[in-house]
A and B are shown apart, each in its own frame.
Chain A
Amino acid sequence: MILLDTRGLEHPVPLGMAFSAFTKLQGREILHMIHTKEPLPLFELVAKNGGHHYSYQDDEGVWHILVTRDTSLDLESCRV
């Protein structure tokens, strides 16, 4: 799992970093993005480029976004 912590970075830097990381994913690799907001445009970019995502908010209000290019992966089971 590739970790990308973008908390504290100004928009749209996190989106650019996350999408760049997504394009480099191989096979069943998963990108784990940690962010202060739910990056809705990222989900659109990922879906339009054949990937899929799963996102959730932890008890401290931090967003965790799991992204992969392998659509057969159950990302919910990969929650950290």
Chain B
Amino acid sequence: MFNRGLSLDQAPPISVVLRFFLSVPIFGVLFSFLLIVYPTDILIPNHPTSLSAIHLFFLGIISMSMIGSLFQMQSVLGGKPIPSPLGNSLIIHTFFSVGLIALASAFLFHLLAAFVIAAVLLGSSLIYLVQLILPLLFGGVTHDTLRGMRLALLSLLLTAVFGAVMASSFANESFGTLHEAVRTAHYSLALAGWIGALIIAVAFQVVEMFYVTTAYGNWYKRNVFRTIALSLILKIVWLFLALPYIWVFDLFLAAVLLGFVVTTVIRLRARKRRVSDVSIGFWYAGMGLLFVSLISHIVYLYTASALCETTALLSFGLFSLSIILGMMAKIVPFLVWFHLSSQGYLQTPIMSNIIPAKQNKRLFVLFAISSLLALISFLTPILLSLSGIGFFAMFALLAYNLIAAVRLYRHTQTTSPRMSMDFSSQS
């Protein structure tokens, strides 16, 4: 079989993806700074400082990484490259970053005009992203990962729309009767639809490939995105009509995510090649944190305990961070190696030397300590400050690792000889 429609220029330039990845530690440091300075405020749900930290985390760290990955994944998994990736990624990244800084500042310093700037820039960057990528996911080969990516992008679109509505409410300091419904729809779509669905969709591809496990079951793959989509749609309808028993949809969402935890852990434990790889630690930690999050949320549904609500959100965020750090540990060295190899450099560094294993182990230790401190910070806010110091060190190390990889890429480009393309004379 030949290329099956494969474009030979599918992968976007490395700068497209790295632009997003390199921004992650910057927003990570800002987020850590808030944890260090305002631990008490952050532990109060819906406090402006807490909302600022939440958006720095979920947009600046989690979504920033996921958007960067989407630029790479779409071309490889979707089969249709994103047009003008350099220009489009620059537009999206700039609007997204400035919009996020405006939003975080608006919450933190009570800058009402900044909410308008955030709504325009964040809203337009995310809507532009969705209209750029989503049409490319239709009309070609379809598989479960593509279905998950479609759901994630549609959820992101609606999250952005609800977010813009709320930003305008904050700007006017006028909250309508549907504000609580809009807020719940906003975070439900963001957490389960955007982050949850995309991580599951990617896991279907990478867990089997990176760790040589058995494939996820067809029944689960076929039904997981349908269940998430249907639960979210019905939950939003129930929210806006103020109907009873809305918690049922959260139970459905929790069930499919618990299924993801169980099936992933079973596969990782039964993997065929037990090579030492710290990225597996990130996957196990992620699954453990997702489990804690789901149990806390289920308890919250029945007790309305603020502690359970905070723990559920915190551990969900840490779950997504854990998976993203584990993925970056694999993807960044691969991208550096792949792009140097495709340019024909003969002295391309081997992947395990681009970000050494010991650096990833340090990253994992810092992540584990900081996460643990954050999870027990209900005991005393000082623990959240200590957690912030740990995350500060972790994001500084992440920045160091990423910059070292970029420097190695540039160094190879300037020093390595390139492969001869004159093969006809050899034959």
Point out residues on A near B: beta carbons under 8 Å: 8-12, 15-16, 19, 23, 26-28, 37-38, 40-41, 43-45, 47-51, 54-57, 69-73
Q: How far in angstroms is the closest Cβ of chain B from A27?
A: 5
B415 at the interface (CB under 8 A from A): no
Distance, CA A26 to CA B427, complexed state (A): 8
> Looking at the complex, which one of B4, B346, B351, B426 makes contact with A16 (CB distance below 8 Å)?
B351
> Is there contact, CB below 8 Å, between A48 and B342?
yes
Main secondary structure of the interface of B (DSSP, over half): loop
Contact status of A43 and B209, CB under 8 A, knowing A55-B1, A71-B423: no
Distance, CA A25 to CA B378, complexed state (A): 61
Main secondary structure of the interface of A (DSSP, over half): loop
> Is there contact, CB below 8 Å, between B427 and A28?
yes
B174 at the interface (CB under 8 A from A): no
> Is there contact, CB below 8 Å, between A27 and B426?
yes
A38 to chain B: which residues have CB within 8 Å? Answer: 1, 4
B8 at the interface (CB under 8 A from A): yes
Assuming A8-B212, A49-B341, what are 7 further A-B pairs, CB within 8 angstroms? A10-B277, A12-B337, A26-B426, A27-B426, A28-B426, A44-B11, A56-B1
> Is there contact, CB below 8 Å, between B423 and A48?
no
* Cβ-closest chain A residue relative to B420: A50
> Looking at the complex, which one of B277, B334, B344 makes contact with A48 (CB distance below 8 Å)?
B344
Interface size on B, residues (CB 8 A): 35
Beta-carbon contacts of B1-30 to A below 8 Å, as 1s and 0s? 111101011110000000000000000000
> Looking at the complex, which one of B338, B421, B426 makes contact with A41 (CB distance below 8 Å)?
B338
Distance, CA A48 to CA B6, complexed state (A): 13
> Is there contact, CB below 8 Å, between A9 and B212?
yes
> Is there contact, CB below 8 Å, between B210 and A10?
yes
Distance, CA A57 to CA B4, complexed state (A): 13
**B 304-363 contacts with A by CB, 8 A:** 334, 337-338, 341-344, 346, 350-351
Contact status of A10 and B275, CB under 8 A, knowing A16-B337, A23-B346, A49-B421: yes
Beta-carbon contacts of B49-70 to A below 8 Å, as 1s and 0s? 0000000000000000000000
Contact status of A10 and B209, CB under 8 A, knowing A40-B76, A49-B421, A69-B423: yes
> Is there contact, CB below 8 Å, between B426 and A48?
no
> Is there contact, CB below 8 Å, between A8 and B272?
yes
Q: How far in angstroms is the closest Cβ of chain B from A59?
A: 14
A15 to chain B: which residues have CB within 8 Å? Answer: 338
> Is there contact, CB below 8 Å, between B424 and A72?
yes
Distance, CA A65 to CA B1, complexed state (A): 9
Contact status of A8 and B3, CB under 8 A, knowing A37-B209, A47-B8, A49-B421: no
Contacts A/B (CB < 8 Å), 25 sampled: A9-B273, A10-B209, A10-B210, A10-B211, A10-B273, A11-B209, A12-B334, A15-B338, A16-B337, A16-B350, A16-B351, A19-B341, A27-B426, A40-B10, A41-B338, A43-B6, A44-B8, A44-B342, A45-B342, A47-B8, A48-B343, A49-B344, A57-B1, A70-B423, A71-B423
